[in-house]
């Protein structure tokens, strides 16, 4: 019988004790793997969606809510602002602002946000079309890859939007106008995958009709001809000063200049607008996330220590019942080195089995978290993704298994044949 087979038989000699060791080890490995995956994928989501944006400008309220709503499309808007208030940000001669993109939000389609904006936003996020073309007219839409896949949308399909950003089933207020899908985005790993894009003016028309105003000239049968070219920013700025948008995304000419660094404070102190620094706001979210990770890290460390002790105690106690067996192995020609190796292999077996079960546990939990995040926030996590760091977890698991088995293995190697057989 080879060493692996013998080690396996020894482990299953007391299955409950071995199972406890394996489960504790699996729990520690699983929690470490889960934390690594959540941190890595959350950081990537945050970083990808920053898109080089230096400033978000909107209505007074919470800067974090403004950032999350405008850039990550989570939560609710702080309010709307008039074109008169933000017109200066679109001035090509602005000394600080190099470029700006307007956003109008507040409606949805089956829980996916509808965003009124200009096609330049796609370039900022590095998104490209998988099929069709960019939106040009009012009530034309380009849909993200996930939106199209989850709802079976194709080019030329039509749908109506819901007032609000939460799918309320039968209680939804549905707008009268139909949207037409003219483009579908390729997967980009950004928030573009989970939103529907149209013109800002579409929001004005649909909400004007919803509120009972006379917009007969915007009847959906005439959208293609009457509203041609509305995606252009100049067309947006030619609208009346009282027309509203939700926010403006801003890129600076020189982000490190003194004027740029003081720009948000000047806006907040001297205007009725709110300016939020997205990099700072997201760093605050990360800081809170890190605090939670540190607490969980302490728990994981405690579980890891307990699991290592469990392996040690399990192997140590099993030697009492196996002393006669080990002595017989010595009589049959097994040297001290083989007995030492046998116990070490048992410790490594527990570590490997715990490692495999831990990864299954981790990615299983990640699968359910991904489903919840996708339903509630329209963000995607990949439960099947395997991080390079998880290979290092295997190295760590083997090391712990080895260290926990060293003392019992040493004791097994020192088994005295004569005394044991006489006691036996």
DSSP line for 233-248: HHHHHTS-TT-EESEE
For range 170-183, the mean pLDDT: 78
Beta strands, E only, 1-65: 55-59
Q: Give just the sign of the alpha carbon dihedral 157, 158, 163, 167.
A: negative
* Same-domain pairing of 92 and 33: no
In a domain, 285, yes or no: no
Percent of the chain with pLDDT over 70: 83
Q: Is the pLDDT of residue 142 over 90?
A: yes
For range 247-255, the mean pLDDT: 95
In a domain, 160, yes or no: yes
Q: Which two tokens stand for residue 232?
A: 């252009």
The domain boundary residue, chosen from 276, 309, 338: 276
DSSP string, 244-313: EESEEEEEES-TTSHHHHHHHHHHHHHSSEEEE-HHHHHHHHHHHHHHHHHHHHHHHHHHHHHHHHHHHH
Give CA–CA dist 233/224, Å, rounded. 18
In a domain, 331, yes or no: yes
pLDDT for the residue numbered 212: 41
For range 200-228, the mean pLDDT: 55
Q: Which two tokens stand for residue 85?
A: 């208030």
The Cα-based distances of 244 to 92, 102, 134 in angstroms read 21, 10, 23
* Same-domain pairing of 170 and 241: yes
Kindly report the backbone phi and psi dihedral angles of residue 258, in degrees, each rounded to the nearest multiple of 5, phi listed first: -60, -40
In a domain, 271, yes or no: yes
Q: Which residue has the higher pLDDT, 44 or 94?
A: 94
Least Cα distance to 192 among 232, 153, 145 occurs for: 145
pLDDT for the residue numbered 209: 45
Domain that holds residue 32: 3-45+290-423
Q: Which two tokens stand for residue 285?
A: 């979210």
pTM of the model: 0.76
Q: Is the pLDDT of residue 169 over 70?
A: no
* Same-domain pairing of 116 and 242: yes
Q: Is the pLDDT of residue 50 over 50?
A: yes
Give CA–CA dist 339/360, Å, rounded. 32
In a domain, 413, yes or no: yes
* Same-domain pairing of 253 and 372: no
Give CA–CA dist 193/144, Å, rounded. 4
In a domain, 367, yes or no: yes
The Cα-based distances of 273 to 85, 363, 377 in angstroms read 8, 44, 27
pLDDT for the residue numbered 331: 58
Contact 261, 127 (CB under 8 A): no
Of 105-119, 196-210, 317-331, give the range with the top mean pLDDT.
Answer: 105-119
- List of long-range contacts for 170-178, beta carbons under 8 Å, 24+ apart: 173/210, 175/107, 175/206, 175/207, 175/209, 175/210, 176/206, 176/209, 176/210, 177/139, 177/205, 177/206, 177/209, 177/218, 177/220, 178/139, 178/220
* Same-domain pairing of 178 and 199: yes
Other C-beta atoms within 10 Å of 335: how many?
A: 11
* Same-domain pairing of 296 and 407: yes
Q: Give the least confident one: 74-88, 139-153, 403-417.
A: 403-417
Task: Tell me how many degrees the CA angle 139-144-145 measures, rounded to the nearest 5.
Answer: 140
Q: Which residue has the higher pLDDT, 324 or 249?
A: 249
The domain boundary residue, chosen from 241, 276, 311: 276
* Same-domain pairing of 61 and 206: yes
* Same-domain pairing of 115 and 233: yes
pLDDT for the residue numbered 221: 43
Other C-beta atoms within 10 Å of 17: how many?
A: 16
* Same-domain pairing of 266 and 318: no
In a domain, 282, yes or no: no
Task: List all residues 6 or more positions away from 287 whose beta carbon is below 8 Å from its beta carbon.
Answer: none
| Number of domains composing the chain | 2
* Same-domain pairing of 329 and 364: yes
Give CA–CA dist 358/396, Å, rounded. 13
In a domain, 166, yes or no: yes
- List of long-range contacts for 293-302, beta carbons under 8 Å, 24+ apart: 293/35, 293/39, 296/31, 296/35, 297/35, 299/31, 300/28, 300/31, 300/32, 300/35
* Same-domain pairing of 233 and 157: yes
Contact 249, 69 (CB under 8 A): no
Give CA–CA dist 138/159, Å, rounded. 14
Mean pLDDT of the chain, nearest integer: 82
* Same-domain pairing of 238 and 100: yes
pLDDT for the residue numbered 330: 60
pLDDT for the residue numbered 377: 60
The domain boundary residue, chosen from 276, 300, 322: 276
Other C-beta atoms within 10 Å of 228: how many?
A: 13
The H or E element that residue 102 is part of is strand 97-109
Where does the pLDDT of residue 213 fall: very low under 50, low under 70, confident under 90, or very high at 90 and above?
Answer: very low
């Amino acid at each position: 019988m080879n060493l692996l087979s013998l080690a396996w038989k020894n482990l299953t000699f007391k299955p409950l004790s071995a199972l406890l060791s394996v489960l504790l080890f699996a729990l520690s490995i699983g929690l470490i793997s889960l934390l690594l995956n959540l941190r890595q994928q959350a950081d990537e989501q945050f970083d990808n969606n920053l898109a080089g944006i230096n400033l978000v400008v909107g209505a007074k309220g919470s800067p974090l809510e403004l950032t999350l709503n405008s850039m990550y499309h989570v939560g609710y808007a702080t309010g709307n602002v008039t074109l008169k208030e933000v017109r200066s940000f679109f001035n090509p001669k602005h000394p600080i602002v190099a470029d700006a993109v307007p956003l109008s939000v507040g409606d949805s389609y089956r829980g996916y946000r509808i965003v009124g904006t200009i096609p330049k936003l796609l370039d900022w996020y590095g998104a490209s079309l998988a099929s069709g073309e960019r939106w040009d007219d009012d009530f034309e839409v380009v849909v993200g890859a996930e939106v199209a896949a989850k709802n079976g949308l194709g080019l030329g399909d039509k749908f109506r939007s819901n007032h609000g950003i939460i799918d309320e089933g039968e209680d939804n207020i549905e707008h009268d106008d139909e949207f037409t899908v003219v483009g579908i985005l390729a997967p980009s790993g950004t928030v573009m995958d989970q939103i529907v894009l149209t013109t800002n003016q579409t929001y004005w028309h649909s909400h004007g009709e919803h509120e009972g105003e006379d917009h007969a000239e915007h009847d959906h049968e005439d959208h293609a001809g009457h509203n041609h070219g509305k995606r252009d920013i100049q067309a947006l700025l030619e609208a009346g000063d009282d027309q509203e948008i939700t926010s403006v995304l801003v890129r600076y000419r020189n982000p490190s200049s003194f004027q740029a660094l003081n720009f948000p404070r000047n806006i907040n102190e001297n205007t009725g607008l709110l300016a939020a620094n997205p990099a700072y706001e997201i760093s605050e979210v990360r800081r809170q996330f890190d605090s939670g990770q540190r607490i969980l890290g302490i728990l994981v460390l405690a579980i890891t220590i307990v699991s290592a002790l469990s392996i040690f105690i399990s192997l140590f106690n099993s030697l009492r019942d196996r002393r006669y067996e080990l002595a017989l192995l010595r009589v049959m020609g097994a040297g001290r080195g083989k007995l030492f190796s046998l116990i070490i292999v048992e410790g490594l077996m527990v570590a490997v089995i715990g490692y495999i079960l831990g990864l299954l546990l981790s990615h299983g939990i990640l699968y359910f978290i991904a489903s919840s995040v996708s339903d509630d926030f329209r963000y995607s996590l990949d439960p099947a993704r395997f991080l390079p760091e998880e290979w290092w977890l295997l190295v760590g698991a083997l090391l712990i298994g080895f260290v926990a088995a060293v003392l019992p293995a040493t004791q097994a190697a020192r088994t005295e044949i004569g005394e044991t057989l006489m006691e036996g």
